[in-house]
Amino acid sequence: MSEHGQLPQELDPDRPSGARVYDFFLGGGSNFAVDRELGRRVLAVAPDMRLSVLANRACMHRVVRMCLAQGVRQFLDVGCGISSIGTPHELAQRLDPTARVVYVDSEPVAVTHGELVLEGNPNAAIVQADLRDIDEVLAATDVRRLLDRNQPTAVLMFAVLHHVPDHDDPSALVRAYLESFAPGSFVALTHLTADHAPEIMRAVFDLLPTDLHPGTLRSRAELEALLTGLDLVDPGVVPIAQWRPERGDLDLQPAVPLGYAAVARKS
């Protein structure tokens, strides 16, 4: 809802949204019946999808804690989706109230919801922009206000780069974001793959409208190549639930991995 109690003008409540379906998988409340219906159809062919989404969120928490332990105090979460349960700013600012977080998304519901969630938080903001338009992202008022380009920054790209086709050069996109910040910056990503379950992913694709199609499923080798020139953080490119799992994450192990996680550092 907007500040006047109206839905964003760009919103079509009769069409599912990737951000809102993801919110449904997380157990959030910022979704419509059309999103829940699509989510249930996806779960019928990919029963581990909800577990994979929860594992993705748990992985994000581990990454944020690791970055804070490395002295990083500012985060740029591109393609953030809806600010639902367990968001980066909640975790980072609980551990260090001075941590600064800027979210970026092009989905109007995600942005409107984020503005409501972040109201009154001077160290967090959300920007509406296409993550591929780096100049627009970095020129945004809140990005310039909150993120010091001369300080190490963690660029979070969770479950978003599979929406970036090869002709948009996701590798160059990653490098361009990191080149905008100081040495010691990190990029963290998760990415859907068909390496382990091609039939399941094909069935999921068949259910999705064209505008929600994940685009490009990449292999482990392709993701390693995408991060060429950066220092991969151990354990490298691994199934999402296997990226530095902690004791509380043991119940978030899908039977079949549907995505990879990786973190890399700019020297």
Q: pLDDT digits over 153-174, tens only?
A: 999 999 999 989 999 999 999 9
Confidence at residue 73, expressed as pLDDT on a 0 to 100 scale? 98
Reported confidence tier of residue 183, pLDDT bands at 50, 70, 90: very high
What average pLDDT does range 103-119 have in this prediction? 89
Confidence at residue 4, expressed as pLDDT on a 0 to 100 scale? 36
pLDDT at 33 over 90: yes
Q: Are strands 238-239 and 100-105 parallel, antiparallel or unpaired?
A: unpaired
pTM tops 0.85, yes or no: yes
Alpha carbon distances (Å) from 73 to 92, 96, 134 = 8, 8, 21
Helix (H) / strand (E) element for 173: namely helix 170-179
Amino acid at residue number 162: H
- Mean of the per-residue pLDDT values of the chain: 91
What average pLDDT does range 131-151 have in this prediction? 96
Reported confidence tier of residue 3, pLDDT bands at 50, 70, 90: very low
Find the Cα–Cα–Cα–Cα dihedral 120, 121, 126, 127, rounded to 10°.
70
Q: Convert 131-161 to b/e letters by CB count within 10 Å (16 or more is b).
A: bbebeebbebebbeebbeeeebbbbbbbbbb
pLDDT at 2 over 70: no
CA 265 to chain centre: 18
The C-alpha atoms of residue 254 and residue 229 are separated, in whole angstroms, by: 31
What average pLDDT does range 47-75 have in this prediction? 96
In order of start, what are the domains of the chain with their CATH numbers? 56-194+214-266 (3.40.50.150)
